[in-house]
């Protein structure tokens, strides 16, 4: 008797489960969270705080806010940031001042922890929301964040 | 040939078989050396080290702020709680007074992490025992929590949102509304989990009486989390040694006495209800205030030993810091829940079939990076 009881219970629970899946089968569009990723690239917007990659914004005069204090380099846990700097004569004051030559960012080593951006006293580096970071050559992942010929924005002090 | 010759030709003997390191049911690179007689398991030897990254050694090199982001990579399904564990240890050592706002936000995020972890576990455990649909349903609901995390913390898996002294930045204005929406949504979905899988006769037969762990063995193997509680061992750190805002909320510690795979499954399902209850108690009255207290740029802990334990989604995570007064720890040790829970696998699997081993492993909810570190 319990043999047939088992079969009965088995079919009953199977139908209970199928009522759940059947509901979604019939209302497949309702509550669907699937993103049609490569097709929705034009409308896809990441959240403002999303950590894609570190960037250094420049204004229209090709000026950035990095003073070369190296706090981001110290804060980075895995050496993703290297700053090559030099003391150059500041045209305004005529004194020698620390200036960055290259702000090198190794995207391939970055763990997106956000400590560099927290450490930056002048908000020179920020998160960009670009997440399509794949490249054909590993060397492309090493980026120089300051643009060629760029200068420090006047008035930015540590 | 007569029957006796056939019998002598087919000798029964034990043999080895490798399960993993790439077996889908092991959820990561865990290699199990099985000694089998026919299909009966005689011995299970876990072989670790395939993704050992020497996190504890790297912690000795890093400053206390930098250690936090490494703990994301241990048990990646409860990264908020791991971060919190390190932050609490450092804060206790420095005797920092943490604002109430931070405590409440940390608790809410911790419970959301627990929910997300249990949803993923439910999905993959159903898949382990042959119910593929659960995988999609579990991930569907987890996606909403990931969105909450992404909006507030900036990342979906390795958040690194807690810092010693508070939070990296304040919660997003949408956080409260999104969390409430998620709770209302998930309250209608969790009963579906039960209807789809829990009541199913095939699933019950697969789980009931499989991988039995007695309370005494759970204690002696150091089991914690849902594995310990499924055997009736009251081991919830949130209840016994409350940290953050857990002393402000009322919740039940889910205990089952059967100790089999089904009991561990039911503990986790009921824990999801409890987590939602905790979030509901806190979400409406997040206190105003600072989201962090100022710490020195270079944190130096006083000389001595410091220990703090928290309840992750898998069990008790302990952080032990031995400091000599410098900016790096002299030694940092993690007591990870997965390692202890894996150690009892041999005990509960011996005598069962290979299919039972898969079912018991699924309910142990192992995360291999947590074990290997």
* HEC letters along A30-96: CCCCCCCHHHHCCCCCCCCCCCCEEECCCCCCCEECCCCCCHHHHHCCCCCEEEEEEEEECCCCCCE
Helices and strands, counts by H and E, chain A: 3, 7
* B144 contact A CB<8A: yes
Q: Which pLDDT belongs to residue B4?
A: 66
Kindly state the average pLDDT of the residues B179-191: 90
Nearest CB among B66, B192, B197 relative to A115 is that of B66
Q: What is the largest CA-CA distance in chain B?
A: 87
Which residues from chain B sit within 8 angstroms of residue A17, using beta carbons? 195-197, 199-200
Nearest CB among A50, A51, A77 relative to B62 is that of A77
CB-CB neighbours of B24 under 10 Å? 10
Nearest CB among A10, A33, A50 relative to B143 is that of A33
- As a residue count, chain B comes to 373
Which residue in B177, B109, B75, B187 sits closest to B141, CA to CA? Answer: B187
Q: Which residues of A touch B (CB under 8 A)?
A: 6, 9-10, 13-14, 16-17, 19-21, 33, 46-47, 49-51, 75, 77, 111-115, 118-119, 127
> In Å, how far is A89's CA from the nearest CA of chain B?
30
Asked if ipTM goes beyond 0.90, one says no
Confidence grade of residue A149 (pLDDT, cut at 50, 70, 90): confident
Confidence grade of residue B115 (pLDDT, cut at 50, 70, 90): very high
- Flag if A47 and B192 touch (Cβ within 8 Å): no
Percent of chain B residues past pLDDT 90, beyond the cut: 16
Q: Which pLDDT belongs to residue A31?
A: 66
- Host H or E run for residue B128: helix B100-128
Which residue in B327, B340, B339 sits closest to B62, CA to CA? Answer: B327
Look up residue B344 and give its DSSP letter.
T
A26-40, A123-137, B193-207, B257-271: which has the minimum mean pLDDT?
Answer: A26-40
* B258 contact A CB<8A: no
Kindly state the average pLDDT of the residues A44-66: 86
Kindly state the average pLDDT of the residues B178-183: 91
Which residues from chain B sit within 8 angstroms of residue A121, using beta carbons? none
A146-150, B264-268, B311-315, B322-326: which has the minimum mean pLDDT?
Answer: A146-150
- Host H or E run for residue B149: helix B133-153
Kindly state the average pLDDT of the residues A6-28: 85
Topology at the third CATH level for domain B3-372: Cytochrome-c3 Hydrogenase; chain B (1.10.645)
Written out in words, the top-level CATH class of the domain with range A53-152 is: alpha beta
Task: Note the pLDDT tens digit of each residue in A66-91.
Answer: 888 888 888 898 888 988 888 877 77
- Flag if B69 and A115 touch (Cβ within 8 Å): yes
Whether omega before A124 lies within 30 degrees of 0, making that bond cis, reads: no
Query: Can you give the residue ranges of every domain in chain A?
Result: 2-34, 53-152
From the candidates A11, A23, A51, which should be mutated to test the interface with B, based on the most B CB atoms within 10 A?
A51
Q: Name the residue of chain A whose CA is nearest to B61's CA.
A: A77
B positions 178-217 inside 8 Å of A (CB): 192, 195-197, 199-202
Confidence grade of residue B349 (pLDDT, cut at 50, 70, 90): confident
Q: Is B34 helix (H, G, I), strand (E, B) or coil?
A: strand
Confidence grade of residue B113 (pLDDT, cut at 50, 70, 90): very high
Task: Note the pLDDT tens digit of each residue in B64-87.
Answer: 889 998 888 888 888 889 999 999
Percent of chain B residues past pLDDT 70, beyond the cut: 96
Q: Is the pLDDT of residue B1 over 60?
A: no
User: Tokens representing B93?
Assistant: 């050592």
Nearest CB among A20, A49, A51 relative to B196 is that of A20
* B252 contact A CB<8A: no
Nearest CB among A19, A51, A77 relative to B66 is that of A77
Confidence grade of residue B16 (pLDDT, cut at 50, 70, 90): confident
B222 phi and psi, to 5 degrees?
75, 30
CA distance A97 to A76: 24
Query: Can you give the residue ranges of every domain in chain B?
Result: 3-372
- Flag if A114 and B140 touch (Cβ within 8 Å): no
Averaged pLDDT score across all residues of chain B: 87
B15-24, B37-46, B176-185, B319-328: which has the minimum mean pLDDT?
Answer: B15-24
């Amino acid at each position: 008797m319990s043999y047939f009881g088992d079969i009965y219970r088995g079919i009953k629970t199977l139908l209970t489960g199928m009522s759940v899946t059947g509901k979604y089968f019939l209302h497949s569009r309702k509550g669907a969270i699937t993103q049609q990723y490569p097709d929705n690239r034009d409308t896809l917007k990441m959240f403002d705080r999303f950590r894609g990659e570190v960037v250094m914004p420049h204004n229209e005069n090709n000026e950035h806010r990095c003073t070369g204090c190296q706090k981001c380099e110290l804060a980075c846990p895995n050496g993703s940031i290297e700053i090559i700097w030099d003391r150059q004569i500041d045209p305004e004051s005529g004194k020698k001042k620390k200036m960055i030559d290259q702000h090198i960012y190794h995207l391939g080593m970055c763990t997106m922890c956000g400590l560099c951006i927290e450490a930056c006293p002048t908000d020179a580096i920020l998160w960009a929301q670009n997440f399509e970071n794949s490249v054909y050559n590993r060397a492309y992942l090493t980026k120089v964040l300051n643009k060629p010929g760029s200068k420090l924005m006047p008035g930015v002090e540590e | 040939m007569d029957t006796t010759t056939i019998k002598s030709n087919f000798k029964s003997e034990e043999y080895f078989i490798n399960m993993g390191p790439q077996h889908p049911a092991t959820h990561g690179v865990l290699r199990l050396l099985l000694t089998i007689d026919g299909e009966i398991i005689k011995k299970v030897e876990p072989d670790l080290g395939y993704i050992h990254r020497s996190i504890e050694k790297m912690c000795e090199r890093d400053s206390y702020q930098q250690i936090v982001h490494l703990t994301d990579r241990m048990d990646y399904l409860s990264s908020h709680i791991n971060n919190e564990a390190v932050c609490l240890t450092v804060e206790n050592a420095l005797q920092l007074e943490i604002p109430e706002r931070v405590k409440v936000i940390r608790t809410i995020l911790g419970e959301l992490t627990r929910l997300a972890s249990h949803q993923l576990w439910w999905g993959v455990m159903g898949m382990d025992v042959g119910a593929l649909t659960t995988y999609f349903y579990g991930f569907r609901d987890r996606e909403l929590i990931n969105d909450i995390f992404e909006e507030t913390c900036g990342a979906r898996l390795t958040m690194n949102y807690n810092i010693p002294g508070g939070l990296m930045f304040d919660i997003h204005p949408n956080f409260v509304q999104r969390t409430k929406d998620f709770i209302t949504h998930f309250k209608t979905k969790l009963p579906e989990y039960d209807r789809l899988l829990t009541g199913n006769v095939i699933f019950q037969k697969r789980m009931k009486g499989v991988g039995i762990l007695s309370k005494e063995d759970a204690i002696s193997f150091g089991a914690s989390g849902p594995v310990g509680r499924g055997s009736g061992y009251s081991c919830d750190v949130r209840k016994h040694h409350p940290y953050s805002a857990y002393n402000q909320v009322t919740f039940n510690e889910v205990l089952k006495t059967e100790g089999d795979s089904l009991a561990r499954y039911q503990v986790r399902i009921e824990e999801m209800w409890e987590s939602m209850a905790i979030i509901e108690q806190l979400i409406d009255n997040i206190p105003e205030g600072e989201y962090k207290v100022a710490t020195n740029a270079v944190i130096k802990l006083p000389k001595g030993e410091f220990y703090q334990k928290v309840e992750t989604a898998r069990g008790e995570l302990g952080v032990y810091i031995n400091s000599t007064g410098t900016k790096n720890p002299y030694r940092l040790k993690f007591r990870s829940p997965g390692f202890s829970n894996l150690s009892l696998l041999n005990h509960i699997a011996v005598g069962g079939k290979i299919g039972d081993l898969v079912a018991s492993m699924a309910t142990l909810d192992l995360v291999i990076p947590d074990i290997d570190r």
